[in-house]
Chain A
Amino acid sequence: MHQVRIHGRGGQGVVTAAELLSVAAFAEGRHAQAFPTFGSERTGAPVVAFCRIDERPIRSREPIAEPDTLIVQDPTLLHQVDLFAGLHPGGLVLLNSARTLQELGLDDTGFRIVTLPATDLARKHLGRPVPNAVLLGGFAALTGVVSLDAVVAAIREKFKGAIGEQNAVAARVAYEQLEAVHA
């Protein structure tokens, strides 16, 4: 089983990211479960969503306390939320940031942190700072848990028309950036 925890803020599409990831995994024949934590939802408040992907049916429904991978959609959460809680040493973190780990003060965490300027890519390709689909392209490149094609198909199924195409392009660019660096 691969367990992903996604952190972000209300308005960044955290819940949708978990949904898209589960749809991509489902399309590839896996069992997948995505669910959010809900609170007093409001723009800007910290939001967490989860996705489990497995070859077997998934029975557990508890929140993911020990993720295999973290996706962090907003680097300012580093100062607000215990993002790395439950992550194993060497665990993968895909962090939305244009800065280096040194600049972020994250060069000595013991985790495998990879940054991707997802908001910049979203601005460039969508004209809006919504990083969720972009990061899924990066997730596909880093983990291989789902293919880029499945991610792109899930994006197009969810968002019809131009917005889907723009997100698909941005996810592909993110995939290529991280594939070149980390494959």
Chain B
Amino acid sequence: MRRQLEGSVAVAKAIALCRPEVICAYPISPQTHIVEHLSDLVRSRELAPCEYLNVESEFAAMSAAIGASAVGARAYSATASQGLLYMVEALYNASGLGLPIVMTVANRAIGSPINIWNDHSDAMSQRDSGWIQLYAESNQEAVDLHIQAFRLAEAISLPVMVCMDGFVLTHAYEGVDLPAQEDVDAFLPPFAPRQVLDPDEPMTIGAMVGPEAFTEVRYLMHAKQMQALDDIPAIASTFAQAFGRPAGGLVRRYRSEDAETIVVALGSVLGTIEDVVDELRADGIRIGALGVKTFRPWPLEEVRAALAHAERVVVVEKAFAVGAGGIVGQNVRLALDGTGVTVHDVVAGLGGRPITGRSLRGLLDDAIAGRLPRDRMTFLDLDTGIVERELERPSGPHAENILRDLGVLARPY
């Protein structure tokens, strides 16, 4: 049924439709509304049977999810930003043990400076943790990706992170079609774990592995992720047949077939990008977009197939590798190796700065006119005056100095 809902509430309801048996989470903005709503659903027994564990930290949340999954329960958690960092050690254990936990990451910047707003630096920091990473463009897609995520995780015995932009999606009210319980039940059968800790049939999982076998175990993790490149589109296609709408998959092309310029992005900014693409198309410019729905595993072949005919690719991403460059951009370059396509890395929307249609239009005008640098990142809407003023200062913390320049903080006497 289509309803006007807050993104967090829509996702919580979608999780409940997936019948998780254990939910362990620790509140952190902007994820909190999701687990708050789930805790209401468990308390009112609308979601039953389900054990809702109040834990003392994100590290405990993921550790409890690992335990739950290892005894054969469908387990769910949600986090963001520093919360994700706090569970990192456990994240690697979940993926290393092959436990099909599903977790929402309500994407938020990582401090310092502390910042509660949206970007992708949290999820991107865990791109190599062995979790599958899916990125939602809208709240409808966030709902649909979570339903697919449980099926995918359990099919290949790997944990899946569903990333949705914090505040931009989690706190936005929009129309969302929530599937019927019987349709979700038909799509997502009960969890049949590949490995179970059972006191009646004792065994251990999580053995220490030395040089004699570590490479082989790690190789299998990689092989399973590569296998997911076949499973993800297959599950997305089954989902589309069952629910009558597309969602997820590896990549999504938008007006890119004959495009000379293609914008690549992840998550909710794709909507604004598509509006700008339409604007430029109306002016006769051959431009399109490519939404990356699955970032891990990296769909190298599909990205290459979608981009190789272009003259230039503009990668707009909400995180970057400090001291190196774009993260998505580096992966795109790998996919385009040998094609001669120019790839521009653009960092935008850091710490909640809005990515506006106007700024994107200016950026793409520059790209098409050959004014964007190839050899270094472009920071969209960077206030260079503020940066230069700060560089001239001999001392003091950058954050406080800049906030004083902007009038956000009062100057000391």
Contact = CB atoms under 8 A, between A and B. Distances in A.
Nearest to A30: B175
Contacts, number: 60
Main secondary structure of the interface of B (DSSP, over half): mixed
Interface residues of A, number: 20
B275 A59 contact: yes
Contacts of B171: 35-36, 38
B188 interface: no
Interface string B93-130: 00000000000000000000000110000000000000
Given A26-B4, A38-B116, A65-B356, A58 B174 contact: yes
Contact of A61 (B116, B117, B173, B272): B272
Contacts of A63: 354
Interface string B263-276: 00000110110110
A110 to B, nearest CB: 23
Interface string A34-61: 1110100000000000000000001111
Contact of B6 (A19, A27, A59): A19
A147 to B, nearest CB: 16
B272 A34 contact: no
Interface centre among A26, A27, A31, A61 (most CB of B within 10 A): A61
A73 to B, nearest CB: 18
A59 B173 contact: no
B355 interface: yes
Say whether chain A's binding surface is mostly helix, strand, loop, or mixed.
Answer: mixed
B167 interface: yes
Interface in B155-176: 167-168, 171-175
Interface residues of B, number: 24
B246 interface: no
Contacts of A103: none
A62 interface: yes
Contacts of A27: 4
B67 interface: no
A33 interface: yes
Contact of A22 (B4, B116, B272): B4
The 3 tightest CB contacts between A and B, nearest first, are A59-B271, A26-B4, A35-B172
Interface of B: 3-4, 6, 30, 116-117, 167-168, 171-175, 268-269, 271-272, 274-275, 354-358
Given A31-B174, A31-B175, A62-B357, 16 more contacts: A19-B173, A22-B174, A26-B3, A26-B4, A26-B175, A32-B173, A33-B174, A34-B173, A34-B174, A35-B172, A38-B30, A38-B171, A60-B357, A62-B272, A62-B355, A62-B356
29 contacts: A19-B6, A19-B173, A22-B4, A22-B173, A22-B174, A23-B4, A27-B4, A32-B173, A32-B174, A32-B175, A33-B172, A33-B174, A34-B173, A35-B167, A35-B168, A36-B171, A38-B116, A38-B117, A38-B167, A59-B272, A59-B274, A60-B275, A61-B168, A61-B271, A62-B272, A62-B355, A62-B356, A65-B356, A65-B358
